Chain A
Amino acid sequence: MCDKIKINLVVNGEPVTFEVQPHVSLLRALRDNYYYDVKCGCEEGDCGTCTVLLDGIATKSCITLAAACEGHEVWTDKGLGYNDALAARLQAAFVECGSIQCGFCSPGMIVAGVHYLKHGGKADRRAIKRSISGNLCRCTGYVKIVDAIYKVAQEIERGALA
């Protein structure tokens, strides 16, 4: 049995210390510490529902080792919603556009969308589709998810959102 190691990181703006074994994924460490908004789907990097921002970059937490996150900053969908105006707006747009059915993909989709918009993503349906190509949704057919990201991208372009 490997010894547990302590990792210090910042989750949703709050410094935390997780005690984990070296072989634990970031996804598991987060869920073990009650960050249940980070969902677990395929556990193989395919479905994207576990997507978080790691140092501002969309990352699949299921194939990220928790131990490798020492000193890094993680934001989950829920934390973003409370702290980040753009993410909060995108969450609201998901509701307005009917982009959520069962909701299982939504946290990952929203984080992928936040990454897209924060990295200069435009109101361009093709580019938006590409940006969520690592996120699977079995309910909506994607159209309404693209609608929501498109809507917020338009608002940014109009200057209605910082």
Chain B
Amino acid sequence: MNTKILENEFEYSKPGSLEEVLETLATKQNVRIFAGGTDLIVKLKLGALPDMEHMLDINGVEELGKIETRADGLEIFAGAKLWSIESDRRVEENYPALREAIQAMASISVRNMATLGGNFCNASPVADAVGPVMCYGGKVRMQSKRGAREVNAVDFFLAPGVSVLEKGELLTSVYLPAPKAHTGHAFVKMGRVKSDIAKISITAVLEREGDRIASCRLAMGSVAARPLFLKAIGEGLAGKAMTEALAQETAQNISDFIKPIGDNRTTAEYRTDVAKVIARDALVSAWKNSGGTL
């Protein structure tokens, strides 16, 4: 055996109801939620969470494992595993960029364990599944003993590893509104090998009206201290006729706008250069699969 053991010693509980989960969150000290554990256990092995005293497994709560159709969209609960999301017909039909992003993550065996809620709460700037949720206008629903609340996915992240989630709060679900007609989607990720963490990623979701872009939303991973929603650049495309030149101009604007850092995965220069290429590709393929021609 090698030496990567969990350094912390902690209590472990797996309640059967949401009430008990919220009660434990409210009363115990230094609690961490265990959803799939694919970030949590690795961090514990690296000694990155020395304060954790209680691990609260939410997989015993049946209602948290669901993916439910709502009148106006889809609600993915916090315990739903990535594999059940990627193999869901409703996700395949209505939110293909989310499906692509999930399928670009890790490996089947990791996706069998990991959750969408965990990808959000881990709050890494590289989190792949976050961009599509932002671009579909998704919302994050949270609950604590004090009550429930909801924020737009684009407002969820504050800094690396930090989100708006407060002490005692559980992310209960991610909600996706129903997409409009003539929606086009694209997710592009660059990694060293298929199952690797992204060096850079981009999501584009646009609605087409004839030969014009009615609206467009863009988000990127691994180019800032948190998942980056390119609000102004996306909004600036509304009403414009889509052309190859527009895609290239927008890609250049994105590349000029972002201020990535260099890290152990790649350099800032690479990210700035490649942003141009993948942004153009994402825009063009989103346009094409909205039914548009170029």
List residues of A whose CB falls within 8 A of some B CB.
Answer: 1-2, 5, 21-25, 28, 31, 40, 43-45, 48, 51, 57-60, 62-65, 67-68, 70, 112, 115-116, 130-131, 133-135
Contacts and interface: CB of A to CB of B under 8 A. Distances in A.
Best-buried of A24, A25, A70 by chain B (most CB within 10 Å): A25
30 contacts: A5-B12, A22-B9, A22-B10, A22-B11, A22-B12, A23-B10, A25-B41, A28-B1, A40-B1, A43-B45, A45-B38, A57-B83, A58-B108, A58-B109, A59-B109, A59-B113, A60-B110, A62-B41, A63-B37, A65-B57, A68-B34, A68-B37, A68-B59, A130-B194, A131-B108, A133-B194, A134-B106, A134-B109, A134-B110, A135-B107
B10 A68 contact: no
Contacts of A135: 107
Best-buried of A1, A63, A67, A133 by chain B (most CB within 10 Å): A63
Contact of B4 (A2, A43, A115): A43
Contacts of A133: 107-108, 193-195
A112 B109 contact: yes
Contacts of B59: 68
A115 B112 CA distance: 11
A72 B108 CA distance: 20
Interface of B: 1-2, 4-6, 8-12, 14, 34, 37-38, 41-42, 44-46, 55, 57, 59, 83, 106-110, 112-113, 193-195
Contacts, number: 98
Nearest to B36: A63
Interface SS majority for chain B: loop
What are the 3 tightest A-B residue pairs by CB atom distance, in nearest-first order? A134-B107, A43-B4, A22-B12
